[in-house]
Structure 1
Amino acid sequence: MQQNNGIDKKQMISFAVLCLVLFGFMFYFQNKQAGEEQLKAQQQKTEQAKTAVKQTQATNINPNVTPNAIQTASLSNKELNVEFSSLGGQVSKVQLSEYKAYDHKTDKADLPLYLINKNNSNYGFQFKDKTGKVINTKDLVFSPSVNGNAVTMTANYNGAVIQFIYTLLPKYTLDFKVRTQGLSTVTSDNKADFIWDYNVRNLEKGRAQEQSHSEFSYAFNNYKDYDYDGRTTMEEEKETLNWIGVKQQFFASVIEAKNGFTQSKGNQENVEEGEYLKKLNYEGFVQMTGSELNQDFMWYFMPLDLPLLKSYDKNFDEILPLGWSFIGWMNRGFFMPMYNIIADWGLTAGWVIFLMTIIVKLILSPIMYKQHKLSAMMKVIRPEIDEVNAKLKDADPMKKQQATMEIYRKAGVNQMAGCLPALVQIPIFYALFRFFPNFIDLRGQGFWFAKDLTAYDDLIKLPFKIPFLGDHLSVFALACTVVILIYTIMTSGNMQQPQQEGMPNMKVLMYIFPITFLFFLNTSASGLSWYYFVSNAINILIILVIKYWILDEKKIHAQIQANKEKPKAEGKFQKRMREMMEKAQEQQKAQEQIRNKKK
């Protein structure tokens, strides 16, 4: 009977050639793309901290207000450019000046990054006047006044004065105070309804990925507790929210109420195409004192940078979806610091990930060594297992299984030891699945033909869409799939075939797995694909080194034979398995006897 003895020296050479071809392919397209790209000279206008009030055209606004009556005022610092509209006295434009948005037309991140623009955000305070008429401040026309880094928006309604006072502060912060005078002559309400409609703008290359990361985020219980909601509705009617925000993949728009929002609820729905990803609507109440609305708020239009988020001390760092419990700890305490330390050496992001992979492999090397040694030992005893299966060809499948386990026991091979590396790597995989698409330091960092390691590379574009795959093929995902397939071929040679009818062939399933992995990686962050390409390539090299330079199969065979002669204590797991099999065998015999009696 011919055995699968893994990969021989010729196959080893073939693997090395394949790796060289893949790397050559990557360098070729890198140089080709660099030659095609032309440098664009861009001039950026610097806005003054104090900008005069100007007239502007407005669309999709209150039909009772003529466009020429709408005024805007602006404030700016090195981080934010903020514009205010006299219609509703609200923030009408927010640009993060230190970041760029992705342009699908040019396939580059060269657009100004606006969190708010073109009326995608609309908010106001709603109450009823004494006649029962609903009044919302977003429908009122305010008069703007600029003074240094502050803008005061003033509106009059039936003798009542409503003022919104905005002050631009450092760290992506906009102070927002609401002051009223004489409002008690207009309304008898003791609370105002804050209504915020927000359409999330598409800022990144991977639309589906960014859409999945766009959701409500909020804190309550005096900033101690945090929650999020990516479903269709959110309801927190019993909690007092300290802040409510809409997070995207790398940015968030958050409003904090110093006295909190009560009876909060909201809903959201995906937008399938166009410049918006999601529509979100929020509603919560703020307290009024003596029917006057005098409350302090704070707007934050910020990048999801972990040190920045922590510096606010408002539980904002929970907005960053790095994973729960131990997974989040791995990202915050291990992968992020490791990336930053290596990046400080001046390496590009792709090579930083390369070194991160090697470090992780070195840490896991004792476990990986045991796994590969176990694989080699199982290969040595494979002929004996085949011999037992041949002798017991017509025997009961349970007997064959017991005989196989007896060989493992005598040889001192613990099959369960091979599960440990897989169990260890599951949390690592999930941590990296969270790390690569959410680490803002990787945003816009290119490597070879991947222009952004937080998004997929689409060097190979398809003229049609394939379900679950899209209209492109990621080269990093393809390369990763190839090495996973090679690794699977090398490690599946010692896998025992199912002895019972109807049992799935695990070898076939293992070969299918890399193909399904391609569908997953094709639209994921290319940094993740690059990491697992390097990781699995290292796995293959480890197997080859162990096979040809470390482990001597003759010595292992001699050791196994020596183990057979020694009295071997039965482990707890093996004892349980044996007892279970014996019990199952007894039940099977009893059932056969009952069937024979009926005949």
Structure 2
Amino acid sequence: MENSRNIILVVVLSLALLLGWEAAMNYLYPQPDEPPVTAEASMAPVDGAEVEHSRTGGLTDPAAVAKEVADLETALASPARVQIDSPKIAGSINLTGAVIDDVVLKDYAETTDKDSGPVRLFSPRGTPAQHFAQYGFLVNGQKVSDDAVWSADGDQLAVGTPVTLTYDAGNGLELQQRYSIDENYMITVEQSIANRSAVPSVVQPYGLVSRTSDTASADFFIAHSGPIGVFGDGANYDYDYDDLDDDGPASPQGRAEWLGFTDIYWLSALIPQDGAAPDATFRALGGKTYRADMIYDPVTVPAGRKYTTTSRLYAGAKDSTILDAYEDAGLQQFGLAIDWGWFRWFEKPLLWLLKTIHGLVGNFGVAIIGLTIIVRGLMFPIAQKGFASMAAMKAIQPRMKELQEKHKDDRVKQQQEMQKLFKEEKVNPLSGCLPMLLQIPIFFALYKVLYLAIEMRHRNFLWIDDLSAPDPATILNLFGLLPFTPPSFLAIGILAVLLGVTMWLTFRLNPSAMDPVQQQVFAIMPWVLMFIMAPFAAGLLLYWVTSNILTLAQQKYLYSKHPQLRAAAEKEKADKAAAAEAAKAKS
């Protein structure tokens, strides 16, 4: 009766977990990830409507997507623009206000469709996806107007071809901004003021990044989305967009090494002049728009003199190799634009190993399988030792039962005698758990690598278009043949089913003796985990399925090396079955 109640409790708790999982997954993995654009969509988004953020960011409302396309066509048609063309980015600088408001990333497609255009990072002010950077001046306490039209000495900014923008501020003051770009995502801006008047002038250069939160990626506990920067000696992930709405402007303590906004894969960041300490602030501007700004201290420029500051702007992908290269060149903790967390010492080598294997095999799915084989191979000696220990435990089990019966009224003495027995027989009862414990940090590290590393974005394997996203082939839509997406609670894909089956098989081979309640728990657990893990990255499930298959092969091999362990496990199962039949016959 007691066992029946426990079994019912296990089933009820499992059902409660499954039913609650839909709400949790909708929060942690908002859908859709890549919204369709329909011709029938309204051209105007609903003001004040709650925006659904996708896992990777971007507009999710079809009306907003359609309006963005139309607004871009109008805004970018202006001839008053300097084109940007470098190996990794393209776009333009708006000469009205000297605003960098048009940036696309050449190396990254917006979707997995073959005809997809590149990812758009910057869009002009006023568009649904507005996101831009601007460098400018306060002259004698007055900001140079955003309507000021600057002149350019060239029509294209490229590597090795800088462009200088000039504006006559009147009263003998000439402002210049010289833009240069490297082969990656870094734009350098030299801001100068030449005072040709007869009196001194006070100048404050500034830089800002402004954006809407409507395009932000979902803020997850392992993937920060929102304001970011390094202040003093540490990276700051403390603020999100709601904090700025609720609490007002935020100015983190410590000198700003860099600051801006991050999504899961993209970064726009201001980098002040080396050695300078400008005021740095994050603020909400209303209407779901936000700004990160830095403003230098006022400087008096004497008559006939010129003053220059040099700042930088990073507008691009969070490629760990590129970020680390800038950090190695002196940009403090720039690699922490990716929120690796406390275990980055383990995650980054894991990513390096994945990339190295990929370089050999040419596919990240195969690379994940190769990584799993390497990890399990390294842990095989530990697993072998664990099985040997379990075999020894089986051999001394009769003596253990004798000690338990002999000292059943003295638990302390019982434990002392047990420890003495383990020591005499050189048995470690915990050694069988060690392989599983060692896999936990590996599993978590791979989870973060698959979720955070842009190297995994849009990487395909067999039927999977993106290993960093959930398995698209779900049972309810006949593995993609039917034109609809099931809710995450029912979106059980091929890999999730394989996970459940392989885990069930590994539990079936478990040599440990279990009471009926434990047996029921282990019988249910694989199918509960199948539902829980289905919305996770397909690459993570591929790792786990491969690991389970290797575990099955490993257990078969080790059983062949320790036949007494297999025989003892089968005898126990037979004894338990006979006891259960006898109890049933009596009732």
* TM-score normalised per structure 2: 0.66
Aligned equivalent of 2:278? 262
What is the match of residue 23 of structure 1? none
- Report the counterpart of residue 481 of structure 1 in structure 2: 500
CA separation of 1:514 and 1:155: change in aligned 2, threshold 3 A: farther
Letter in 2 for 1:81: A
Deviations 1:460-496 (A, max 9, x none): 1666765xx4573332233223322332343374246
Aligned-pair CA distance for 1:69: 7.8
Whichever residue aligns with residue 74 of structure 1, its letter is Q
**Of residues 149, 152, 156 in structure 1, which corresponds to 2:164?**
152
Q: Which amino acid aligns with 1:551?
A: H
Cα distance between partner residues in 2 of 1:173 and 1:280: 22
Is structure 2 residue 544 aligned with structure 1 residue 523?
A: no
1:503-550, Cα deviation, whole Å (9 max, x unpaired): xx6666555654554455333321111111111211122112211x10
Go from structure 1 to structure 2 and tell me whether the alpha carbon gap of 1:123 and 1:352 turns closer, same or farther (over 3 Å shift).
closer
- The whole-number CA distance in structure 2 between the counterparts of 1:471 and 1:140 is 55
Residue 337 of structure 2: which of 319, 329, 339 is its match?
319
Matches within 5 A, 1:268-283: 280-283=290-293
Deviation readout 1:202-261 (Å, 9 max, x if unpaired): 69xx9677993434443355xx75444464359454422122233333332222221445
Would the aligned equivalents of 2:361 and 2:367 in 1 still touch at CA under 8 Å? no
Deviation at 1:265?
2.9
How big is the shift at 1:412? 4.6
Q: What is aligned with 1:433? A: 447
Equivalenced residue count is 466
Could you say which residue in structure 1 is the equivalent of 2:562?
551
AA of the residue aligned to 1:331: E
**Bigger Rg, which one:** 1
Q: Gapped runs of 5+ residues in structure 2? A: 1-68, 478-483, 569-587
1:229–1:162 CA distance, 2 compared to 1 (3 A): farther
Q: CA deviation at 1:156?
A: 4.6
Give CA-to-partner distance per residue, 1:252-293, whole Å, 9 cap, x none: 222222144533232589x9xxxxxx9653133223321697
Where in structure 2 are the equivalents of 1:131-530 lying within 5 Å? 135=143, 137-146=145-154, 149-157=161-169, 159=171, 160-181=173-194, 191=204, 194-199=207-212, 212-220=223-231, 225-229=234-238, 231=240, 232=243, 235-259=250-274, 260-266=276-282, 280-290=290-300, 294-312=308-326, 313=329, 314=331, 315-324=333-342, 327-333=343-349, 335-379=350-394, 412-460=426-474, 466=487, 469=488, 472-491=491-510, 493-495=512-514, 514-515=526-527, 517-518=529-530, 521-530=533-542
Letter in 2 for 1:176: V
Query: Identity of aligned pairs, percent?
Result: 20
SS of alignment partner, residue 146 of structure 1: coil
- Is the 1:244–1:256 Cα contact (8 Å) retained in structure 2? yes
Counterpart-to-counterpart distance in 2, 1:191 and 1:372: 70
Cα distance in 1, alignment partners of residues 85 and 413 from structure 2: 79
Matched, 1:112 2:118: yes
Q: Is the 8 A contact 1:81 1:97 kept in 2?
A: yes
Whether 1:80 aligns to 2:65 is no
Does the aligned pair in 2 maintain the 1:378–1:494 contact within 8 Å?
no
Q: Distance in 2 between matches of 1:496 and 1:406?
A: 26
Higher mean C-alpha deviation, range 441-450 or range 517-526: 517-526
Q: Which amino acid aligns with 1:84?
A: I
Deviation for aligned residue 1:125 = 5.9
Find the aligned partners of 1:167 and 1:376 in 2 and give their Cα distance: 68
Find the counterpart in structure 2 of residue 542 from structure 1.
554
CA RMSD of aligned residues (A): 4.4
Deviation at 1:199, TM superposition (A): 3.5
Per the TM alignment, residue 198 of structure 1 is displaced from its structure 2 partner at its CA by 2.1
Contiguous gaps of at least 5 residues in structure 1: 1-56, 61-65, 272-277, 498-504, 558-599
SS in 2 for 1:198: strand
CA contact (8 A) 2:136 2:207 kept: yes
Q: Deviations over 1:372-399 (max 9, x none)?
A: 3333444455567678878999x78888
Distance 1:185 1:535 in 2: 77
SS, match of residue 210 in structure 2: strand
Q: Letter of the 1:73 partner, please give it.
A: V
Q: Say if 2:188 and 2:311, in contact at 8 Å, map to a contact too.
A: yes
| Displacement of 1:122 | 3.6
CA gap of 1:434–1:220, structure 2 versus 1, over 3 A, is same
2: CA distance between counterparts of 1:444 and 1:192?
40
CA distance in structure 1 between the partners assigned to 2:485 and 2:325 by the alignment:
47
The more displaced of 165-174 and 83-92 is: 165-174
Distance 1:541 1:229, change over 3 A: same
Match of 1:51 in 2: none
Which residue is equivalent to 2:110?
101
C-alpha distance in 2 between matches for 1:538 and 1:443: 26
d(CA) in 2 for partners of 1:176 and 1:328? 32
Contact kept in structure 2, 1:97 and 1:112, CA below 8 Å: yes
**CA displacement, residues 322-363 of structure 1 (integer Å, 9 cap, x when unaligned):** 443xx3233333x23433433333442222221211111111
Deviation at 1:178, TM superposition (A): 1.9
Query: Cα–Cα, structure 1 residues 527 and 69, in superposed 2: closer, same or farther, change >3 Å?
Result: closer
**Kindly tell me: are residues 352 and 211 of structure 1, through their superposed partners in 2, closer, same or farther at Cα, counting changes over 3 Å?**
closer
Against the structure 1 CA distance between its residues 186 and 464, is the aligned structure 2 distance closer, same or farther, given a 3 Å change threshold? Answer: farther
Structure 1 residue 188 displacement after superposition: 7.4
**Do 2:132 and 2:211's aligned partners in 1 also have CA atoms closer than 8 Å?**
yes
CA contact (8 A) 2:83 2:155 kept: no
Q: Which amino acid aligns with 2:111?
A: Y
The Cα offsets for residues 93-129 of structure 1, whole Å up to 9 and x where unpaired, read as: 11122221226xx5x6822122112442244468777
1:125 touches 1:137 (CA, 8 Å); kept in 2? no
Q: 1:194 to 1:297 in 2, by over 3 A?
A: closer
How far the C-alpha of 1:176 sits from its partner, in A, is 1.4
Q: Does the C-alpha gap of structure 1 residues 83 and 415 become closer, same or farther in structure 2, counting only changes over 3 Å?
A: same
Residue 506 of structure 2 aligns to which amino acid in structure 1?
Y
Q: Conserved in 2, the CA contact under 8 Å of 1:126 and 1:192?
A: yes
> Which residue in 2 is equivalent to 1:502?
none
- Letter of the 2:344 counterpart: G
Contact kept? 2:391, 2:565, Cα under 8 Å: no
Q: Is the 8 A contact 1:100 1:111 kept in 2?
A: yes
Partner of 2:13: none
- Aligned-pair CA distance for 1:83: 0.6
Paired residue secondary structure (2:389): helix
Q: 1:168 to 1:123 in 2, by over 3 A?
A: closer
Higher percent of residues as strand: 1
**Counterpart-to-counterpart distance in 1, 2:296 and 2:461:** 49
| Superposed CA offset, 1:444-474 (max 9, x none) | 22111111112222211666765xx457333
Give 1:92's aligned amino acid. D
Q: What letter matches 1:166 in structure 2?
A: Y
- State the match for 1:533 in structure 2: 545
Partner of 1:587: none
